[in-house]
Amino acid sequence: QSLSLLFHRTNFLSSSLQLSVDATGCRFLRALLPSDLAGRSKGGQAQNGSVDVLDLLQGWGSGVGTYDDFNTIDWVREKSKDRDRHREISRKRRQSITALLLSVSDAFSGWLLMLLIGLMSGALAGGIDIAAHWLTDLKEGVCLNGFWFNHEHCCWNSKETTFQERHRCPQWKSWAELTVGVTEGASAYVVNYLMYVIWALLFSFLAVFLVRAFAPYACGSGIPEIKTILSGFIIRGYLGKWTLVIKTITLVLAVASGLSLGKEGPLVHVACCCGNIFCHLFTKYRKNEAKRREVLSAASAVGVSVAFGAPIGGVLFSLEEVSYYFPLKTLWRSFFAALVAAFTLRSINPFGNSRLVLFYVEFHTPWHLLELFPFVLLGIFGGLWGALFIRANIAWCRRRKATRLGRYPVLEVAVVSLATAVLAFPNDYTRMSGSELISELFNDCSLLDSSKLCDYGPLAKGGEPAGNLSEGTVGQAERPAGPGVYTAVWQLAMALLFKMAITVVTFGMKVPSGLFIPSMLAYYHHDWDMFHGWCSPGAHCITPGLYAMLGAAACLGGVTRMTVSLVVIMFELTGGLEYIVPLMAAVMTSKWVADALGREGIYEAHIRLNGYPFLEPKEEFVHKTLATDVMRPRRSDPPLSVVTQDGMTVEELEGLISDTSYSGFPVVVSPESHRLVGFVLRRDLVISIDNARRCQEGIVGVSRVIFTEHTPVEAQGAPPPLNLRAILDLSPLAITDHTPMEITVDIFRKLGLRQCLVTQNGRLLGIITKKDILKHMAQMANRDPDSILFN
Amino acid sequence: QSLSLLFHRTNFLSSSLQLSVDATGCRFLRALLPSDLAGRSKGGQAQNGSVDVLDLLQGWGSGVGTYDDFNTIDWVREKSKDRDRHREISRKRRQSITALLLSVSDAFSGWLLMLLIGLMSGALAGGIDIAAHWLTDLKEGVCLNGFWFNHEHCCWNSKETTFQERHRCPQWKSWAELTVGVTEGASAYVVNYLMYVIWALLFSFLAVFLVRAFAPYACGSGIPEIKTILSGFIIRGYLGKWTLVIKTITLVLAVASGLSLGKEGPLVHVACCCGNIFCHLFTKYRKNEAKRREVLSAASAVGVSVAFGAPIGGVLFSLEEVSYYFPLKTLWRSFFAALVAAFTLRSINPFGNSRLVLFYVEFHTPWHLLELFPFVLLGIFGGLWGALFIRANIAWCRRRKATRLGRYPVLEVAVVSLATAVLAFPNDYTRMSGSELISELFNDCSLLDSSKLCDYGPLAKGGEPAGNLSEGTVGQAERPAGPGVYTAVWQLAMALLFKMAITVVTFGMKVPSGLFIPSMLAYYHHDWDMFHGWCSPGAHCITPGLYAMLGAAACLGGVTRMTVSLVVIMFELTGGLEYIVPLMAAVMTSKWVADALGREGIYEAHIRLNGYPFLEPKEEFVHKTLATDVMRPRRSDPPLSVVTQDGMTVEELEGLISDTSYSGFPVVVSPESHRLVGFVLRRDLVISIDNARRCQEGIVGVSRVIFTEHTPVEAQGAPPPLNLRAILDLSPLAITDHTPMEITVDIFRKLGLRQCLVTQNGRLLGIITKKDILKHMAQMANRDPDSILFN
């Protein structure tokens, strides 16, 4: 009823005063003006009014209650706003059938949104897969039946039956065949080499050009930024439609160019863009930053779901790695969206195998308990690699920022992709795309397989360990290895070293790039197989594919520090409970080893590198400082800038605003008592005073600004006071100066605060903002670097 | 250094004063006495002292900082305590190798604990399965090779090959064969019937007797209580060793007696008991209620993991359904423990099929998109049943509490189990145990199958829908149904009705009982098959097992309101992504329908029935009340009882304690200013004063009690003051009186508070406890019952 009262007043005033003012800026002021009268007439319920008015203001586009770019949102306020909206709908529900239907549709809009995100992301992921596949093949040749066919589709109707022959159908022409007319020999090789490099350069140049020209936010993996956004930061345009369009196109180009990067991170970014764009369809989500972040959490689950074909893993990834505020309702909805996306992708069927990913694998050989030892070694290796990769990559990125390198991003991309293409072409395993490579490495050999890794003599058909032969002791005459195996092992070792080096440089460039760690380290499997001299000869006791997969999981674990979600993703890829224990062993060791060498994952490291205000929810604050050590003002600083509830004029306030740059001011009873009344945000204050000056009768510089419930009667002749209680936050959280920082950090994290006031024996003493806490945490971490090690 | 200083003082005093006092009660007082001196000498660091001293006190067994039975823990304090302990270890780590090793072992003790819990729970679950199987078979007959063999093991070496014949090996004698010597005919039937009933009665009587005599907490499902305990409540002995032993034994007996109950809930309870008992091995967990609850969260995941053979589902169950505080670290550890338990269970192999559960299923037929309609109908049915079941069960339990029925629990169990046994025996489907039944219903028919449900004519071999035939139109001549199918359908319908009724009565009795909803409702599948007239005749388009599974999931979803975890559990049972969409559809509909009819799940309903102080984390508080409406004292109450920081004597404090029953008192600067200094707990106050009276020189009734940092100098001749700053919580959380209750409830939930102080313009106004909030929420829910409906 307080709302309708205000509306009445507004109408009354606007008709009686007949002011000519702009519609958006001033109407709300007229609503504010009589708020004290309204408050008085409502009696006991007056205190409830403020939130409603805030809602009202926002609805009228006055800007009160919104946020600036690169600012942190106030979770508590956003959630309150949503509950108000919800209450309003519930209240109206009983009044009419339309309102009832509206409330039902409101309740289901979240599900509809999830459905849309799932469909759209699944479709986009399918499109990206198909396009990238086609462009990748374009580097090698073209289909005569139609240039839009990729190699596989081109040869689909060919009569050859073996894998080997099927790839050599007459319709598919390599560039050498088309231009110089030969398929073999040095000239053909040179032409193919050249075309490969030219196409790769073209793709990567196009990608970096598009990013630079249209959507600078489309570069990189996007996960560090999404983590920061989900934690409550505002980066306008990061999830906008331009970013979506450009990121989708450039992701295809970047993957096709053969750069050492993956599509996982960018797919999460793409899904989040979809989520953000669809949010604009529903008022519930458009206007509420907290609700929108729930949707984005679900969208990031969708991204992983389509990247790996693992819906459950995606949800756990979102929960474990990306999300900040993840209520159970979101868990359920994310799961739904991830499923919809996975099934959309499957009905598009981009790989023609009814699977969601190219590298779906099925193992049938059980593993031996003694194999746990090499599994753990793989984990150690993965952890070492992870820690090393993070350090090298961060050092490179820092160098890029500091030196002149950072000024020529296009050139950098061109050089890196030239180097990648030139070095990659001679080696079969680097020439093929990442997904193909994973697929080849993860799978067991079968009889029809044309892969060089399966090039054994007739006695050793399927499932034989390739690695045992690389030992050099070919004494086991029953398993002759063809020359292909030796070549493959040699090439894989080269490929491993090459990919390791090039990925460090690639990640963080100005093109869409995900971490393609899986492909990279999967190579390493053959070396570990050497440890299997004890395996009884001739027995099918080792699955090389399993080792490849474990290596990939361990390395990815070392780099990202994912745990459960990684195991579940791999579990969904392999589809058997059988291999969970090896996975767990490898991933766990990898995480421990990597944690011992450096406590941050790659995403956290990039967040810190870029200086985003992100309060890590996983890391515990272990130092023994108190709120009084962190709060401002410090002992040497000037005293805290406060606003008194009824003692300041408009001019004084404007002076305070221009003299300081704080984003808000505490309101106290009087400067002497320092008893806290509330908190007022700078932005709200500026807008309100500005509007009052323009629209409200009699507001001049010497008008008193009042924050109390009842406006006092001014002396005769004095200008009317300006009551701003409506913009006053009456429930600021305050802690005592003795509160340990560990508890303070916990409160900030769990409640999603932006600032917190500090009191001592009931007197206001200072203020702690999120930035103060981050600064303090960084200080303490530098002072005592290994304090967190055994946490 | 503050610690060592105190120790020095203590030693100095105890040697100089030569008081003869009891060791545990008084030493700490001497430590307290000079705390102000220590404080003074330390200067700026003084404020840190209080927590250390608390630790010290607790270590000496004085009881300060512990909790009474049936009280709520203070999460913030517990977590602080753990961080202090952690800091202490980290600090010492640099001093010696031993301390370093100690710190490493401390860091890994959590993992060791998880390993132990996993092994133990897996072993117990295996033992329970085997024992229950044996006892169940004992109701029908005995093995001549050795009475300890169950029916299946007894006939293991029999030469018969079909399933039908294998169960009729000569070594296995039914009771009729043994006593009257005939296997067929009326007399055999009567003897078997009688023996069945007698054994069932014996088992259930033994179960209820053991529970009553040794461990009253071993009754029921345990999940409501575990939820309450995890939310921070203390119920001493609920997870003790006696409860574990008795629950394990009686669970076997209860399952074997044929009562309509399941072992899922009790297995969670058993796993939590294991967790709690193993916690006592590690100081880290023994002494910290918050850390122990992390372990218990993991243990509940283990319980579900062994009950359903679904480790991932178990973890999600713990996250979604049971846990209150679930940090990511716990997620990872729970997963580890759940896996260990699942593999332990598998190596025990209780079902002889290398599977974790008896009812592991594999479907091969894909489902049709049009089938989504009956899936949704199944969901609606499940939701209706869920809501109905909860109401009926709660009404029955309330009746039991209110009437004389509650006074004769043994008689009640005897009557119910007599009824169950008498009614169950004539029907094959109720006579068999729950797991067997599920296994029979979930599985597709195969050629060798002897089940009556698969009794088709020669043309209709495997996978044919049984239900189509129950339509009565046997016009489809190509699929003749044997008489077995008709009998089966009739028997299943009877079984369904019977189980529905008996389960309502059974759940909540004084024996271990889980919800065996899956078995119960799985029956219903055949009715829904009637909707499949549109299925093209002769095509293998319907999988009855799938319908059974969906029905089970929908009903379980309706009763417990589980969502993701239920889908994942079922997914792990079936092992294919294929059926996630039907599952999702059924479970989602079921939850919506059930939520529309009543907003609580069965566990929440039982929590409310028993009046446990549980603050539901899922339900949002939607009402527009303020902290001032909830806080005490109310307007008509006497003013708030406060303690002043330096103005009260020992006598006055003792008077305050005996006059009131509050569990704590705010400490203020002076009664006039009402400026908040801190909060002191009643229990700590009582213990400290008591100890000071007994041990500290010169403490008499008129001694002043001081809570300030510096002890003021007393007037000449006055007794020395008692400084209790050490037990003062200097960082109590305070909110303003204008804080909306929705935010207050959020703060309570997220920070795990026990109480919160309320201030107005910097003055202390009142206090809100968790109980006040629960009471207020109940009030508001009653006033506006459907407010939560569309949330």
Give the pLDDT band of residue B277 (cuts 50, 70, 90).
very high
In this structure, which amino acid lies at residue B345? L
The alpha-carbon gap from B673 to the nearest alpha carbon of chain A, in Å, equals 9
When CB atoms are compared, the residue of B328, B571, B738 closest to A730 is B738
DSSP-assigned beta bridge partners for residue B755: B769
pLDDT 10s digits, B598-632:
878 888 888 888 888 888 777 777 778 888 888 88
Measuring CA to CA, which residue among B32, B22, B16 is closest to residue B699? B32
Q: What is the per-residue pLDDT for A541? A: 43
pLDDT 10s digits, B188-225:
888 888 888 888 889 888 888 888 888 888 877 788 88
B769 φ, ψ to 5°?
-105, 170
Give the pLDDT band of residue A522 (cuts 50, 70, 90).
very low
B312 contacts in A (CB within 8 Å)?
312, 568, 571
Asked whether the beta carbons of A644 and A667 are under 8 A apart, the reply is: yes
Helix axis angle, B483-506 to B372-402, nearest 10°: 40
Rounded Cα distance between B543 and B597, Å, is 31
Q: What is the per-residue pLDDT for B328? A: 80
B31: helix, strand or coil? helix
| pTM of the complete model | 0.80
Give the pLDDT band of residue B29 (cuts 50, 70, 90).
very low
CB spacing of B739 vs A731 below 8 angstroms: yes
B87 close to A (CB below 8 A): yes
In chain B, pLDDT over 90 holds for what percent of residues? 6
Best probe of the A interface among B48, B333, B746, by most A CBs < 10 A, is: B746
Whether B672 has a pLDDT exceeding 50, the answer reads: yes
Q: Answer with the residue of higher pLDDT: B285 or A442.
A: B285
Distance from the first to the final alpha carbon of chain A: 53
CB spacing of A624 vs B86 below 8 angstroms: no
Q: Supply the DSSP symbol for B72.
A: B
CB contact set of A144 (below 8 Å; sequence gap of 6+): A154, A171, A172, A173
Rounded Cα distance between A562 and A671, Å, is 51
- Residues 447-466 of chain A with CB under 8 A from chain B are none
Rounded Cα distance between B205 and B253, Å, is 9
CA neighbours within 13 Å on the CB side: how many for A405?
17
In chain A, pLDDT over 70 holds for what percent of residues? 70
CB spacing of A624 vs B48 below 8 angstroms: yes
DSSP-assigned beta bridge partners for residue A626: A740
CB spacing of A336 vs B761 below 8 angstroms: no
Calculate the alpha carbon distances from A52 to A80, A86, A92, A368 in Å. 10, 12, 15, 66
CB spacing of B312 vs A568 below 8 angstroms: yes
Whether A455 has a pLDDT exceeding 80, the answer reads: no
Rounded Cα distance between A337 and A295, Å, is 10
CB spacing of B746 vs A79 below 8 angstroms: yes
When CB atoms are compared, the residue of B336, B567, B677 closest to A761 is B677
Measuring CA to CA, which residue among A322, A270, A304, A261 is closest to residue A517? A261
Q: What is the per-residue pLDDT for A347? A: 82
Q: What is the per-residue pLDDT for B513? A: 40
Q: What is the per-residue pLDDT for A175? A: 80
Best mean pLDDT range from A231-235, B299-303, B384-388, B693-697? B299-303
When CB atoms are compared, the residue of B329, B673, B731 closest to A736 is B731
Rounded Cα distance between A582 and A588, Å, is 10
Rounded Cα distance between B746 and B617, Å, is 9
Mean pLDDT calculated for residue range B48-56: 41
Rounded Cα distance between A211 and A206, Å, is 9
Rounded Cα distance between B187 and B175, Å, is 11
Q: Which of A421-430, A782-791, B257-266 has the lowest mean pLDDT?
A: A782-791
The alpha-carbon gap from A281 to the nearest alpha carbon of chain B, in Å, equals 20
Whether B783 has a pLDDT exceeding 90, the answer reads: no
The DSSP element (H or E) to which A755 belongs, if any, is strand A755-760
Q: What is the per-residue pLDDT for B278? A: 92
pLDDT 10s digits, A316-340:
889 888 888 888 888 888 999 998 8
- Residues 340-379 of chain B with CB under 8 A from chain A are 342-343
Mean pLDDT calculated for residue range B127-154: 81
A734 close to B (CB below 8 A): yes
When CB atoms are compared, the residue of B331, B622, B740 closest to A564 is B331
Rounded Cα distance between A673 and A235, Å, is 40
Rounded Cα distance between A262 and A125, Å, is 13
Mean pLDDT calculated for residue range A461-482: 35
Q: Which of A404-413, A571-580, A715-724 has the lowest mean pLDDT?
A: A571-580
In this structure, which amino acid lies at residue A96? S
Mean pLDDT calculated for residue range A46-67: 48
In this structure, which amino acid lies at residue A557? G
Q: What is the per-residue pLDDT for A34? A: 39
B730: helix, strand or coil? coil
Calculate the alpha carbon distances from A79 to A82, A691, B576 in Å. 5, 27, 38
Whether A434 has a pLDDT exceeding 70, the answer reads: no
Q: What is the per-residue pLDDT for B416? A: 80
What mean pLDDT is reported for chain B?
A: 73
CA B558 to chain centre: 18
A723 φ, ψ to 5°?
-95, 120
Asked whether the beta carbons of A351 and A129 are under 8 A apart, the reply is: yes
The alpha-carbon gap from B520 to the nearest alpha carbon of chain A, in Å, equals 26
How many CB pairs lie under 8 A apart between chains A and B? Answer: 194
Q: What is the per-residue pLDDT for A47? A: 39
A587: helix, strand or coil? helix
Residue B194: CB atoms within 10 A of its CB come to 14
3-state helix, strand, coil in chain A (%, to 5): 60, 5, 30
**Total residues found in chain A within this entry:** 791
The alpha-carbon gap from A362 to the nearest alpha carbon of chain B, in Å, equals 13
**What is the complex's ipTM, to 2 decimals?**
0.78
What mean pLDDT is reported for chain A?
A: 73
Report the residue of chain B nearest A309, measured CA to CA: B577
B525 close to A (CB below 8 A): no
A624 contacts in B (CB within 8 Å)?
48, 84, 87
Q: Answer with the residue of higher pLDDT: B669 or A520.
A: B669
Rounded Cα distance between B67 and B64, Å, is 9
β-strands B648-649, B704-706: how paired? Answer: antiparallel
- Residues 145-174 of chain B with CB under 8 A from chain A are none
In this structure, which amino acid lies at residue A441? L
Asked whether the beta carbons of A664 and A688 are under 8 A apart, the reply is: no
CB contact set of A509 (below 8 Å; sequence gap of 6+): A208, A219, A220, A409, A412, A413, A416
Residue listed under structure tokens 């006696």: B242
Give the pLDDT band of residue A355 (cuts 50, 70, 90).
low
Asked whether the beta carbons of A52 and A42 are under 8 A apart, the reply is: no
CB spacing of B790 vs A107 below 8 angstroms: yes
